Structure formats: structure tokens, C-alpha cells
């Protein structure tokens, strides 16, 4: 079949930084094309150019054999291109139907809503993207929001679909379902450009795959002849250890004790039920589970951000001190750091610079002050050290806004800040490597294990089973608000070293 997309010699610079460096890439109509590369390699930039959100400095775009020049996303949409962004773009206070038709229908008053809702319901059923068209988007799970994003493209009759990290927020069963949908869309002749960091997934679903590094295209290969190791090497430019060294050690005193924790939401639904666990010094306690089984509520209690209309019972103590109900600042003051699930919402200020974001929430620390004001030299030096230690990739300019960093590099900023908090006793990590590339995962995992070896107590909450198994000392299976089963150190170590089928065993306890 002919090429649906042909990009030739695309260049795009931000200041001195070449985000896209002479990129040429073709995608056959009716195929799924994977696009992989390190954080900051230029994948989102390239797809934003294809979608008309960014203008290339030079180069041409051909769609179905015709040269096009887009000056806005509207023109790209008219040419049959649709995009689901790395961060969703839905309006939470509107319904599914309203979100889908948003920007397409001119006047709200003339809309035949009942008919549109029916149409959207049917469209969903036809493509395996079932959704209640009348539901408010704010009440949907991330997996359901994703369905809305894709339905929006199908409703606009997009023939070329760009998906920027669509599975970063999905549970494994949701991912399987999404891939089945993508396959059937491709079989109908639609063309899909799939950006992801999960190499297993690219290998499972795509027909061909392109690798980018530092703005340039390293190569395009048929998926059938690709391996995970080779893709990783093409991405990073060196061999990547897909397994990290995680030596055992005897855990110390208990740091975090959670006993009989209950959480009943304001609407009466029970989110946590007599949840109990302990995390010791020098231990990583991993919580495995499908999202929506109480993870968010547990995190909100640990961090002091829970809904005060909820009914809460039980206790949380840190080194014997009760901390349930304290404010986030007071909890941080006890020596607790947290990497939240949603970094954009709660962990960074996008329009501030890297330097400010690296001390955000730690700005009262003595080390960053001189007299009664900030010591800007020290804050500047701190940023330099962190950029080095956490391999944060940013344009070399003077303290660029964090919004200009690629998604994975924003995550590294949050990790650096929280892991380096002085006097740290407990580190709570929620999805610490979401959206992070394979080389950076290796680095972050090493930092986490080093911190544990230095005696830190770590609570890890991740929907990536592989991550939970490779890092944890013990694993608790969270299901419907309780720890349903715990795997002890021996079981976890064996699972890691002997491929004992631990993944499947955990699977049985979390579904």
C-alpha cells in the first residue's frame, strides 16, 4: 500500500537546541508504526509538527501523496489527522458527548443531543471503546478518558491517528484492549503512529518501528526483525541493562506503620478497608494492584491531601509519631517525600524555571538562603548538581521553564528534588517511572536501590508489575482497598532471580 505519511527533512530548533534534526520518515497506509526514543529525543515535537501545532523550520509533509502545509491543528484535522496527546486535553466539567463534539459543532443550541449521544454510543461499541456518552469526564477513570480521546478522533473521521504514549496511564488489561482496537482500526485502513517507551508493547503491536535519538532519526526497521535489546541500544546509543542488581540486606527498624486504615468517600463508597502494612528501614515495600483499588486514597492519606469530607479511620505512624491528618508541609517536615501520580497537577509549576522547581516545597531549607533572602548562587549550583546526577536533559539556556522540558525530564526533576530532601526517612513513590525512557528507568531504579541501601524506607506504588518485582523487598497485593496477600522477601527474591512465575501469582491476587 502507498504511504499515508511521508515526512522529509524535517528540522525544528528551539533556541540552540535541535529538537528535530533532518528527520525523514514514511508510514504505510493501514499500518501501525511505532516511534521510540529517549526522553527529549524529539518524538512529541515531530508529532506536533505533523498535527499542525508546531511549524517546522524546514522540510516537507506529504499526506496520501500530497504535499501539505499546516498552519494550525484545524487544518491537520481537516486533512484527516487526529492526535491523542501525552497529557489529555479533555474538559472535565463537560460530558463525554460534549467533549467529543467540542470544536466541531458551531452552536450549542441547535444540537440534537439525544441523537449525538446515540451516535457516540454506537461508535464506541463498534470499535471496542464502550463508554457512557452522558457521563461527566471528571468521573471517568484514565482508561475511560483515553477511550473518549480516541472516539473524538474517530468521530472526526481521522484516518491518521497519532497516539503519544497512550499506555503510560493504562492498566495491563486496558492496554490489551486498546491494542485490539488499534489493530482493527489499522485493518480498516487507518494509519497509526504510536509513541511509547514500552518496548514490549511496540514489539507486540506495531508493523514497523522508528527510533529517534537527540532529534535525529536513527533508523526504521520492520518490527518482525526487531528485539527489545536492539531497540534499547538504538535509542540510548549503548547497551542497556534490562535487569538491575538488587542485593538483599537485613531491614532495620519499622519506619511507617499503617494499621486498620479505613476510607469512606463523601459519596459513601468504601475505598480502603482495614488496610495494614509496615515499611522498615532499608526496605522497599511494593504495592501491586490495578489502578482504582484504593491507591489514590492511600496516597492522599499519606500526604495529608485527602478529602476532608471523607470518613477516615485507623492509624498511620512514622517512627512512632502519628501523622494521619497532618498537613502536607508538616508531613514533609517529619522527613517524608512523595512522588505523586500526577506530576503536572501536583508536583511542578510549569511556567517556573528548573532551578525554582528543584527547590519547590524545599524552599525553606537553610541551604538555599543567605540572610533573609534566597541565595541564588546556591540554588543555581544545586540545579547544576541535580541535572548531572539525574541526567536531566534540557536546553542549555539560562534556567529554562520546566514546561519546555520533555515529559520524562520533568519527572526526573521531581525525583531529584524529592529524593535529595535532607533528613529523609520515608520516600513514597507513585508510578515513579511513568513516561520515562528505558535508559532513564535504569538510572532511577539504581538511585532508588542506593537510597534503600542507605537505610531509607520506601513505599512503592506502581501499576507496572515488572517494576514492583525488580525493586521491592516485599510485595503487598492491593485489591478493593485492602492488602489481600503479602509476598515475603524470599518469595520476591526467588521471583526476581529464578523467573518463578511471581508475576502470574501476583496477578491472581489483584484481579
30, three cell numbers: 493501514
133 contributes a contact to ligand ATP by CB under 6 A: no
- Give the CA distances from residue 109 to residues 106, 155, 223, 332, in Å, rounded to whole numbers and listed in that order: 9, 20, 49, 50
Specify the stretch interacting with Mg ion by CB under 5 A; choose among 29-37, 356-364, 405-413, 414-422.
405-413
Is residue 445 a contact residue for ligand ATP (CB under 6 A)? no
Q: What angle do CA 368, 373, 379 make, to 5 degrees?
A: 30
Pick 165 or 467: Cβ nearer Mg ion: 165
Burial of residue 382 (CB within 10 Å: 0-12, 13-18, 19+) is: buried
Q: Tell me: does residue 405 bind ligand ATP (CB under 6 A).
A: yes
Should residue 121 be labelled a site residue for ligand ATP when binding is judged by CB under 6 A?
no
**Residue selected from 44, 196, 295, 473 as contacting ligand ATP according to rule CB under 6 A:** 44
DSSP 30-80: T-EEEEEE-TTSSHHHHHHHHTTSS--SEEEEEETTEEE--SSHHHHHHTT
CA distance 333 to 433: 25
Contact partner at residue 41 from ligand ATP, Mg ion, none, CB < 5 to 8 Å by partner kind: ligand ATP
Q: Which is nearer to ligand ATP, 418 or 437 (CB)?
A: 437
Which of residues 42 and 495 has its CB atom nearest to Mg ion in the complex?
A: 42
Is residue 117 within a helix (H) or strand (E), and if so which, with residue range? helix 113-126
Cα–Cα dist 334/332, whole Å? 5
Q: Which of 295, 382, 406, 470 binds ligand ATP (CB under 6 A)?
A: 406
Cβ closer to Mg ion: 54 or 428? 54
CB of 239 or CB of 396, closer to ligand ATP: 396
Taking residue 468's Cβ as centre, other Cβ atoms within 10 Å add up to 26
Distance CA 38, CA 13 (A): 18
| x/- letters, 195..214, toward Mg ion (CB under 5 A) | --------------------
Q: Which of residues 157-216 bind ligand ATP (CB under 6 A)?
A: none
Kindly state the smallest distance separating residue 383's Cβ from ligand ATP, in Å.
Answer: 15
Q: Which of 5, 27, 31, 44 binds Mg ion (CB under 5 A)?
A: 44
| Residue 198 Cβ vs ligand ATP, minimum distance, rounded to whole Å | 12
Nearer to ligand ATP, 141 or 395 (CB): 395
Contact region with ligand ATP (CB under 6 A), list: 12-20, 145-153, 315-323, 363-371: 12-20
Candidate segments 35-43, 122-130, 423-431, 467-475, binder of ligand ATP by CB under 6 A: 35-43
Residues in binding contact with ligand ATP, number by CB under 6 A: 22
Residue 48 near Mg ion by CB under 5 A: no
14 interface partner picked from ligand ATP, Mg ion, none, CB below 5 to 8 A per type: ligand ATP
Of 384, 442, 368, nearest to 394 by C-alpha is 384
Q: Which residue has the cell 505519511?
A: 5
Partner that binds at residue 174, options ligand ATP, Mg ion, none, CB closer than 5 to 8 Å by kind: none
Stretch that binds Mg ion, among 8-16, 42-50, 174-182, 344-352 (CB under 5 A): 42-50
231-237 contacts at long range (C-beta below 8 A, 24 or more positions apart): 231/36, 231/199, 231/202, 231/203, 232/199, 232/438, 232/439, 235/36, 235/37, 235/38, 235/41, 235/211, 235/437, 235/438, 235/439, 236/38, 236/437, 236/438, 236/439, 237/213
Partner in contact with 40, chosen from Mg ion, ligand ATP, none, beta carbon below 5 to 8 Å by kind: ligand ATP
* Closer by beta carbon to Mg ion, 40 or else 80: 40
Question: From the CB of residue 179, how many other CB atoms can be counted at a distance below 10 Å?
Answer: 19
Q: Which of residues 406-425 bind Mg ion (CB under 5 A)?
A: 407
* DSSP structure class, residue 401: B
Task: Rank residues 323 and 413 by Cβ distance to ligand ATP and give the closer one.
Answer: 413
DSSP strand pairing (160-164 vs 81-84)? parallel
**Does position 146 bind ligand ATP by CB under 6 A?**
no
Q: Which of 213, 393, 417, 447 binds ligand ATP (CB under 6 A)?
A: 393
**Alpha helices, H only, 341-437:** 343-346, 354-357, 376-389, 407-419
The stretch among 43-51, 109-117, 338-346, 376-384 that binds Mg ion (CB under 5 A) is: 43-51
Provide the 10 A C-beta neighbour count for residue 44.
21
Q: In 3-state terms, what secondary structure has residue 383? A: helix
Among Mg ion, ligand ATP, none, partner that 42 touches (CB below 5 to 8 angstroms by kind): ligand ATP
- Is residue 438 involved in binding ligand ATP (CB under 6 A)? no
Which residues of this protein are in contact with Mg ion, per CB under 5 A? Answer: 44, 407
Q: What is the binding site for ligand ATP (CB under 6 A)? A: 14, 17, 19, 37, 39-45, 86, 393-395, 404-409, 437
Amino acid at each position: 500500500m502507498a504511504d499515508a505519511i511521508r515526512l522529509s527533512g524535517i528540522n525544528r530548533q528551539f533556541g540552540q537546541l535541535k529538537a528535530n534534526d533532518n528527520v525523514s520518515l514514511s508510514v504505510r497506509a493501514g499500518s501501525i508504526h511505532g516511534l521510540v526514543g529517549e526522553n527529549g529525543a524529539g518524538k512529541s515535537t515531530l508529532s506536533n509538527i505533523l498535527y499542525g501545532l508546531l511549524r517546522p523550520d524546514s522540510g516537507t509533509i506529504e499526506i496520501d501523496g500530497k504535499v501539505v502545509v499546516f498552519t494550525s491543528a484545524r487544518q491537520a484535522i481537516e486533512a484527516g489527522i487526529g492526535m491523542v496527546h501525552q497529557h489529555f486535553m479533555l474538559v472535565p466539567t463537560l460530558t463525554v458527548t460534549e467533549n467529543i463534539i467540542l470544536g466541531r459543532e458551531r452552536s450549542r443550541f441547535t444540537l440534537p443531543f439525544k441523537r449525538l449521544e446515540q451516535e457516540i454510543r454506537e461508535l464506541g461499541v463498534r470499535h471496542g471503546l464502550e463508554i457512557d456518552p452522558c457521563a461527566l469526564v471528571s468521573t471517568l477513570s484514565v482508561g475511560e478518558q483515553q477511550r473518549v480521546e480516541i472516539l473524538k478522533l474517530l468521530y472526526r473521521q481521522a484516518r491518521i491517528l497519532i497516539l503519544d504514549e497512550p499506555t503510560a496511564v493504562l492498566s495491563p488489561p486496558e492496554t490489551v484492549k486498546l491494542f485490539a482496537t488499534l489493530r482493527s482500526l489499522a485493518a480498516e485502513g487507518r494509519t497509526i503512529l504510536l509513541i511509547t517507551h514500552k518496548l514490549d508493547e511496540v514489539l507486540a503491536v506495531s508493523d514497523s518501528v522508528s527510533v529517534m535519538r537527540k532529534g535525529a532519526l536513527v533508523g526504521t526497521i520492520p518490527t518482525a526483525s526487531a528485539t527489545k535489546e536492539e531497540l534499547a541500544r538504538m535509542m540510548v546509543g549503548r547497551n542497556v541493562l534490562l535487569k538491575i542488581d538488587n542485593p538483599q540486606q537485613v531491614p532495620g527498624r519499622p519506619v511507617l506503620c499503617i494499621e486498620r486504615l479505613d476510607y469512606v468517600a463523601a459519596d459513601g463508597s468504601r475505598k480502603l478497608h482495614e488496610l495494614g502494612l509496615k515499611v522498615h528501614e532499608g526496605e522497599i515495600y511494593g504495592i501491586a494492584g490495578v489502578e482504582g483499588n484504593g491507591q489514590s486514597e492511600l496516597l492522599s492519606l499519606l500526604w495529608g491531601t485527602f478529602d476532608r469530607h471523607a470518613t477516615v479511620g485507623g492509624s498511620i505512624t512514622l517512627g512512632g509519631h502519628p501523622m494521619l491528618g497532618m498537613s502536607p508541609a508538616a508531613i514533609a517536615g517529619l522527613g517524608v517525600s512523595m512522588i505523586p501520580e500526577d506530576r503536572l497537577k501536583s508536583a511542578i509549576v510549569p511556567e517556573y524555571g528548573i532551578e525554582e522547581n528543584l527547590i519547590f516545597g524545599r524552599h525553606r531549607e537553610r541551604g538555599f538562603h543567605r540572610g533573609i533572602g534566597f541565595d541564588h548562587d546556591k540554588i543555581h549550583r544545586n540545579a547544576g548538581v541535580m541535572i548531572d546526577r539525574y541526567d536531566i536533559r534540557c536546553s542549555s539556556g539560562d534556567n529554562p521553564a520546566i514546561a519546555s522540558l520533555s515529559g520524562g525530564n520533568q519527572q526526573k526533576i521531581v525525583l531529584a528534588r524529592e529524593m535529595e530532601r535532607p533528613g529523609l526517612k520515608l520516600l513514597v513513590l507513585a508510578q515513579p517511572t511513568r513516561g520515562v525512557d528505558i535508559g532513564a528507568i535504569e538510572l532511577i531504579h539504581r538511585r532508588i536501590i542506593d537510597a534503600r541501601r542507605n537505610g531509607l524506607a520506601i513505599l512503592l506504588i506502581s501499576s507496572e508489575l515488572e517494576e514492583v518485582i525488580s525493586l521491592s523487598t516485599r510485595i503487598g497485593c492491593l485489591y478493593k482497598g485492602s492488602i489481600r496477600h503479602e509476598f515475603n522477601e524470599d518469595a520476591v527474591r526467588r521471583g526476581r532471580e529464578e523467573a518463578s512465575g511471581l508475576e502470574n501469582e501476583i496477578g491472581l491476587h489483584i484481579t
